Amino acid sequence: MNETFRDTHARFPALLADDLLHLLDVTESALVESHARECAECGELLARARARRADWWEGTGHATVRALSTFASTPDALPAADRDVVARHLEHCEECREDLRVLTAGVASAAPIAPADAGPGDSGGRSHGLVWAFAGGLAAVLLVFVFMNPSRAPDPGVAVQPEVRQPSGSVTPPAGAPRTSGTPERAPVAVAMEPVALEGASRGTGESGVAASVAIPGGAADVPFTLPALFVDEGTTFVIELRDANRVMLFRDEIAAARALAPAGVRIPAARFRAGRLALRVAWVDAMGVAEAREYALDVSMPR
């Protein structure tokens, strides 16, 4: 067992929390994937954590009410990895911190909050220090659940305002009111773009010539890209990142090689783009465990 392996193995629980929250850069993400393949213990931990992630996170990328309420009331009931993920997410998400404050207010009258053992920068100490008295907590959890899920169907027994139906006949508008056509307006149709072929990449991170000029028309839902031929194993996972000129990340995704190398296999939402010079980075770990990357410079315009 070499020194690098031992160091990665010791750091893996901390790296795992950031990996689940997409906080790692490309190199560290590749390191997590590579170590998980070499170490059966860490590979099983990664698989279990990713399988549980759907139970703890909404499609919007925020922690669910169940995760926050458990973290607030009985943090020791959570596995250490889940506890670390929630704590790290709260460091970066003001919305979830506000929801946690609502939960805290709901149980504060029952008993005082036990102080955390560590400072605010120590996420592990903070998660262990959140020991709450849970008297009256069920009502608070239900209140927050309704607050965060306004579209949820009402519970049985709750009075519901009757629906006000519009009259089926024509209605004469008041005098002076503008007349409108009876034909409803059609919803805008999404514009489909032709795939952008990528060529002229630089290895690793760095400047390169313009690989493609990308004109994104109004109404486009996403921008498809076709990667050049890359000789990789069938089970390889590509990490796709879009960054602006200041290296600020605009988009990140993980795509299986079979899908990524297909025509128009890489698709990025048009809303993530900005006009100007951007960089599209494709990274993966080869069969020898070596991290590889290609970076494509994009000249993006958004004609109206």
pLDDT in tens, 67-89: 777 777 777 777 776 777 778 77
Supply the range of the domain harboring residue 77.
3-148
Residue, of 83 and 173, whose pLDDT is higher:
83
- CB-CB contact of 18 with 31 (8 Å): no
What is the model's pLDDT at position 123?
A: 41
> Which two tokens mark 59?
């499609």
Residue, of 222 and 174, whose pLDDT is higher:
222
Are residues 130 and 203 located together in one domain of the fold? Answer: no
Q: Which residue in 201, 232, 223 sits closest to 273, CA to CA?
A: 223
Distance CA 40, CA 43 (A): 5
Cα dihedral: 203, 211, 229, 33 (round 10): 50
Are residues 35 and 111 located together in one domain of the fold? Answer: yes
Are residues 11 and 135 located together in one domain of the fold? Answer: yes
pLDDT in tens, 239-255: 899 999 888 889 988 88
Are residues 20 and 89 located together in one domain of the fold? Answer: yes
Mean pLDDT of 10-31: 78
The structural domain count of the chain equals 2
Are residues 296 and 209 located together in one domain of the fold? Answer: yes
Are residues 106 and 209 located together in one domain of the fold? Answer: no
- Whether 168 is in a domain gets the answer no
Question: Which of these three, 114, 148, 182, is where a domain ends?
Answer: 148
Task: Look at the block and give the residue holding tokens 């279990």.
Answer: 48
- CB-CB contact of 139 with 110 (8 Å): no
Q: Which residue in 128, 70, 61, 65 sits closest to 93, CA to CA?
A: 61
Distance CA 134, CA 251 (A): 39
Are residues 139 and 253 located together in one domain of the fold? Answer: no
Residue, of 193 and 99, whose pLDDT is higher:
193
What is the model's pLDDT at position 301?
A: 92
What is the model's pLDDT at position 135?
A: 32
- CB-CB contact of 45 with 15 (8 Å): no
Are residues 128 and 39 located together in one domain of the fold? Answer: yes
What is the model's pLDDT at position 234?
A: 73
Are residues 94 and 202 located together in one domain of the fold? Answer: no
- Whether 166 is in a domain gets the answer no
The amino acid at residue 119 is G
User: 222: number of CA atoms within 13 Å, CB side?
Assistant: 10
- Whether 101 is in a domain gets the answer yes
pTM of the predicted model as reported, rounded to 2 decimal places = 0.39
Mean pLDDT of 281-297: 79
CATH label of the domain that carries residue 257 = 2.60.40
Residues paired with 291 in a beta bridge: 285
Q: Which residue in 145, 20, 169, 157 sits closest to 81, CA to CA?
A: 20
User: 234: number of CA atoms within 13 Å, CB side?
Assistant: 0
- Whether 190 is in a domain gets the answer no
Q: Compute the C-alpha angle 217/223/224, nearest 5°.
A: 135
Q: Compute the C-alpha angle 207/268/292, nearest 5°.
A: 45
Are residues 117 and 220 located together in one domain of the fold? Answer: no
